[in-house]
Amino acid sequence: MADSAPASITSDREETKYLVSHHEKRALVAALNERLPRHRHRGEGENNLPGPEHFVTTVYFDTPSLAHFREATRSGDHHVKLRAKEYYDVHPSLAELATDADEVLHRSPYVWLELKRRAGSRSQKQRVRLERRTVPSWLSSAPVPLAADGDAPAILAYCQSLTEPLVPSAVVNYRRASWQSADDSLRVTLDTELAFFEAPPGLWNLPSLSRSSLGRPRQRETELLIEIKRHGCALPAWLARRARLARARAVPYSKFVRAIESVRHG
């Protein structure tokens, strides 16, 4: 469920993104399963039920003038973004017994507030775990208690340094599968069912941030998104070959930019 990737692979890494046709999914997943262990959250909030489908909802923040969006579109791979992520699992096997959509969910009461800086192919990410109801306080000038874990002071300082308020600007939901090397130097994620939404009213008071709570999507991605994250290692030859066989296209893909464009233009 929650992304428990170690700090080394999340805080400072090389990132490469590819778009791939849905027709290539089976062969691609088989190759990744053969070479890398599947990654699954272990620890607090661990989901022990079999056969879960892992989903992520990301709420992106921006100023009323869309300062972050304008910077991202102007400078390409050099920008800053702030987002909140909720991880949850869906159990289709429970659907027949459920009387409500959220009954098939397994989710944490927390979200991850993340500040991500990108410079070319390198990215740095700072994050802190919060109760969802406290997120609006972090985005305002109201004093908030610092969380015990994560990069709380740096994120709070960034929010307070802006001359405009931050508000939810768009929401992305997708299903994620991930693989990670034993030494944590290589991480591969495969995102499917990508959909882009307006931020719904009463966002932080919803029972969950699952797709069923977000309304009708403004747009959907027609291909699969692969992200390869490396820390201190080269791209393995087998993975480069698999990407070529899948006719994967390296792209400067930004979920944030795609989400804002979807909300602005439909």
Domain ranges of the chain: 7-265
- Which residues neighbour 105 within 8 Å (Cβ) at sequence distance 6 or greater? 88, 89, 90, 91, 208, 210
Return the sign of the alpha-carbon dihedral for residues 66, 69, 74, 78.
positive
The pLDDT assigned to 96 comes to: 46
The pLDDT assigned to 43 comes to: 44
Query: Is pLDDT at 246 greater than 70 in this prediction?
Result: yes
Task: Over range 156-168, report the average pLDDT.
Answer: 90
The pLDDT assigned to 11 comes to: 58
- Cα 95 to Cα 200: distance, rounded to the nearest angstrom: 25
Query: Is pLDDT at 139 greater than 90 in this prediction?
Result: no
pLDDT band at 98 (very low <50, low <70, confident <90, very high): very low
Task: Over range 14-30, report the average pLDDT.
Answer: 94
The pLDDT assigned to 108 comes to: 78
Task: Over range 30-34, report the average pLDDT.
Answer: 95
Amino acid in the structure at residue 199: A
- Cα 152 to Cα 138: distance, rounded to the nearest angstrom: 10
Query: Is pLDDT at 218 greater than 80 in this prediction?
Result: yes
pLDDT tens-place string over residues 177-199: 999 999 989 999 999 999 999 99
Query: Is pLDDT at 89 greater than 70 in this prediction?
Result: yes
Which residues are paired to 38 by β-bridges?
179
Query: Is pLDDT at 92 greater than 90 in this prediction?
Result: no
Rounded to the nearest angstrom, the gap between the alpha carbon of residue 10 and the centroid of all alpha carbons in its chain is: 12
Task: Over range 243-252, report the average pLDDT.
Answer: 93
Q: Is 73 helix (H, G, I), strand (E, B) or coil?
A: helix
Which residues are paired to 174 by β-bridges?
56
Query: Is pLDDT at 52 greater than 60 in this prediction?
Result: yes
The pLDDT assigned to 3 comes to: 57
- Count of Cβ atoms closer than 10 Å to residue 211 Cβ: 20
Q: Which fold has domain 7-265?
A: mRNA Triphosphatase Cet1; Chain A (3.20.100)
* Pairing mode of beta strands 167-180, 53-62: antiparallel
Q: Is 35 helix (H, G, I), strand (E, B) or coil?
A: helix
Q: Phi and psi (nearest 5°) for 4?
A: -100, 25
The pLDDT assigned to 2 comes to: 46
DSSP secondary structure letter of residue 187:
E
Residue 99, burial from CB neighbour count under 10 angstroms (0-12, 13-18, 19+): exposed
Task: Over range 125-129, report the average pLDDT.
Answer: 90
The better pLDDT of the pair 52, 211 is held by: 211
pLDDT > 70: percent of the chain: 80
Task: Over range 87-96, report the average pLDDT.
Answer: 70
Count how many residues are written for the chain.
266
In angstroms, how far apart are the furthest CA atoms of the chain?
53
Which residues are paired to 186 by β-bridges?
230
Task: Over range 40-64, report the average pLDDT.
Answer: 74
Q: Phi and psi (nearest 5°) for 50?
A: -80, 155
Task: Over range 101-119, report the average pLDDT.
Answer: 79
The pLDDT assigned to 51 comes to: 67
